């Protein structure tokens, strides 16, 4: 079956780029009954994938060893998925493949690409008569193999050409497959970027919940495993809470001593999508403090050596790492703390998702993408890293009111925020008292407290701006812009 395929055995689709994600995605497509051609510049990867296709059920997968044979082995109009590193490798792969493609054929980039790169490539593809999709894919290796959440944006015609395949290979939830046509241009990449920003927030909030329970509640890893497993049976049910419960149970096999989580260096890596999310929020004047706090926390985690030195310096000055030394559960009601942290985590998460949704709404307005926020929540219910049971409720909130100003003011979520705010304040207050940093939870709480106040101290900031820079101000009791000679009036008042 290798080499140029005979006319009667043309593949339904092609996939180029056979690292782990690409291999798994290709096998997923083949397993769903769609014959697929695969290609990789390193030919050993092609052999590896063919081997897996045999082992995993003699799947209809055809290996190709050069771009021309690969493209010609796919039925027209051809659809080719590219899964290579973002940036220059994508452009190189497009150049190699498009040479053999014809007008009406489609290129689908499944990587985490910056949305403007996708918009440039759409224009370049169009000039050759080719269709283009930038498709966010979430779910990691497991999702790629057994059902990811997919966010395709770009040519609607390209989407309809492969819709049957995408709907079959996507994760399936009770209200349909976790894929939908997102919108024009780079909207699919943008939505995936925001998904990753929300993911940063979720991971940070969970790590803070762990920190408070461990260091203010004195809980052991096995207790933490039980707590997270229990939370995963309730309103916090989600992929990240589920895997967190698993993590606390894993023993350190290298030393045979204790749990692995305690041996891991406290330094977080990142690929850049969280940073892009925060930059875009700033560009669009959208407050995203929870996501920003989680990004800052990753930067701070990178200062491992500095933090160790600082810890020593402050110890010499009489300040212990956790300020209160009686923390081993003695002065804390464990049962109540566990319940408080659960509520604080839930309320903080609502803020994080609200910020992500507002960012999508603002970008959609700027670009005319007409994003359906309820549908975004729906396709995140399965397959992806932020999949969570409460996404169904987010979907319903936007169905009730597509123009919802903020997720927090949906009547259902508003009631929940109010019910949980006392517990939330207790957790943040306890952490502050004990010197345990909870940037994500406190950023979420500040977001909530700022948003629910009808009057903020911004009047003073505006007065200062007018004082030193004649920036003018508006009044609450009459129309128009005003400027005051503040220093003159202040001098007169002192006389």
Q: Which residues form the catalytic set?
A: 192, 199
Q: Is 95 annotated as a binding residue?
A: no
Ramachandran region of residue 318, left (φ > 0), alpha (ψ -120 to 50) or beta?
left
Q: Is 341 annotated as a binding residue?
A: no
CA pair distance 452, 449, nearest whole angstrom:
5
CA pair distance 263, 243, nearest whole angstrom:
18
Q: What would the DSSP string read from start to end of 156-205? A: HHHHHHHHHHHHHHS-EETTEESB---BSTTHHHHHHHHHHHHHHHHHHH
Q: Is 42 annotated as a binding residue?
A: yes
Q: Is 318 annotated as a binding residue?
A: no
DSSP bridge partners of 388? 238
Q: Is 100 annotated as a binding residue?
A: no
Q: Is 147 annotated as a binding residue?
A: no
Q: Is 21 annotated as a binding residue?
A: yes
Residue in the block written with tokens 């790492």: 321
**Residue 410 DSSP label:** S
Q: Is 221 annotated as a binding residue?
A: no
Q: What would the DSSP string read from start to end of 421-471? A: HHHHHHHHHHHHHHT---HHHHHHHHHHHHHT-S--THHHHHHHHHHHH--
Q: Is 195 annotated as a binding residue?
A: yes
The CA distances from residue 285 to 30, 289, 293, 355, 463, in Å, are 44, 12, 16, 11, 21
Q: Is 420 annotated as a binding residue?
A: no
Q: Are 13 and 161 in contact (CB under 8 A)?
A: no
Residue 181, classified by CB atoms within 10 Å of its CB into exposed (0-12), middle (13-18) or buried (19+), is buried
CA pair distance 105, 82, nearest whole angstrom:
14
Q: Is 140 annotated as a binding residue?
A: yes
Q: Is 271 annotated as a binding residue?
A: yes
Q: Is 455 annotated as a binding residue?
A: no
Q: Is 129 annotated as a binding residue?
A: no
Copy the structure tokens of residue 14.
């092609």
Q: Is 316 annotated as a binding residue?
A: no
Q: Is 41 annotated as a binding residue?
A: yes
Angle, to 10 degrees, between the axis of helix 334-367 and the axis of helix 187-215? Answer: 160
Q: Is 138 annotated as a binding residue?
A: yes
What is the side-by-side order of every strand in the sheet holding 106-109?
61-64, 36-39, 13-16, 79-82, 106-109, 131-138, 149-154
Q: Is 153 annotated as a binding residue?
A: no
Q: Is 493 annotated as a binding residue?
A: no
Residue 447's nearest CA partner among 253, 201, 238 is 201
Residue set of the binding site? 17-22, 40-42, 84-86, 112, 138-140, 195-196, 200, 271, 298, 465, 471
Residue set of the binding site for substrate? 112, 138-140, 195-196, 200, 271, 298, 465, 471
Residue set of the binding site for NADP(+)? 17-22, 40-42, 84-86, 112
């Amino acid at each position: 079956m290798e080499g140029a395929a005979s006319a009667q055995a043309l593949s339904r689709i092609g996939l180029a780029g056979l690292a782990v994600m690409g291999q798994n995605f290709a096998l997923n497509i083949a397993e769903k009954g769609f014959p697929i051609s695969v290609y990789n510049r390193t030919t050993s990867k092609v052999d590896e994938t063919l081997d897996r296709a045999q082992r995993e059920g003699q799947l209809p997968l055809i290996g190709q060893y050069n771009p021309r044979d690969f493209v010609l082995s796919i039925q027209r109009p051809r659809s080719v998925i590219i899964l290579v590193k973002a940036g220059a490798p994508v452009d190189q792969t497009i150049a190699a493949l498009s040479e053999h493609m014809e007008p009406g054929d489609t290129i689908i980039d499944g990587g985490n690409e910056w949305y403007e790169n996708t918009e440039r490539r759409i224009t370049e593809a169009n000039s050759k008569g080719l269709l283009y999709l930038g498709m966010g894919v979430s779910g990691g290796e497991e999702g790629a193999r057994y059902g990811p959440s997919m966010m395709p944006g770009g040519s609607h015609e390209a989407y309809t050409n492969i819709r049957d395949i995408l709907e079959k290979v996507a994760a399936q939830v009770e209200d349909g497959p976790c894929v939908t046509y997102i919108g024009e241009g780079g909207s699919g990449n943008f939505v995936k970027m925001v998904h990753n920003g929300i993911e940063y927030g979720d991971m940070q909030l969970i790590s803070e919940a762990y920190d408070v329970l461990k260091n203010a509640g004195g809980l052991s890893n096995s207790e933490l495993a039980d707590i997270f497993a229990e939370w995963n049976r309730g309103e916090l049910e989600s992929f990240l809470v589920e895997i967190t419960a698993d993590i606390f149970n894993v023993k350190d096999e290298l030393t045979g001593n204790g749990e692995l989580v305690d041996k891991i260096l406290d330094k977080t890596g990142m690929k850049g999508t969280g940073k892009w999310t925060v930059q875009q929020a700033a560009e669009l004047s959208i407050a995203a403090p929870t996501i920003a706090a989680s990004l800052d926390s990753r930067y701070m985690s990178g200062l491992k050596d500095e933090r160790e030195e600082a810890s020593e310096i402050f110890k010499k000055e009489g300040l212990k790492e956790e300020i209160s030394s009686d923390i081993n559960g003695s002065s804390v009601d464990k049962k109540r703390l566990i319940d408080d942290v659960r509520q604080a985590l839930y309320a903080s998460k609502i803020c994080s998702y609200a910020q992500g949704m507002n960012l999508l709404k603002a970008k959609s307005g700027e670009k005319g993408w007409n994003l359906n926020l309820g549908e975004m929540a729906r396709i995140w219910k399965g397959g992806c890293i932020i999949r969570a049971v409460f996404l169904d409720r987010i979907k319903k909130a936007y169905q009730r009111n597509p123009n919802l100003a903020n997720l927090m003011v949906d009547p259902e979520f508003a009631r929940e925020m109010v019910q949980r705010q006392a517990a939330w304040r207790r957790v943040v207050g306890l952490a502050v008292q004990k010197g345990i940093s909870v940037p994500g939870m406190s950023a979420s709480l500040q977001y909530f407290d700022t948003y629910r106040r009808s009057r903020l101290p911004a009047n003073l900031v505006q007065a200062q701006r007018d004082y030193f820079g004649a920036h003018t101000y508006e009044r609450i009791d009459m129309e128009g812009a005003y400027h005051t000679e503040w220093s003159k009036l202040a001098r007169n008042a002192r006389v």
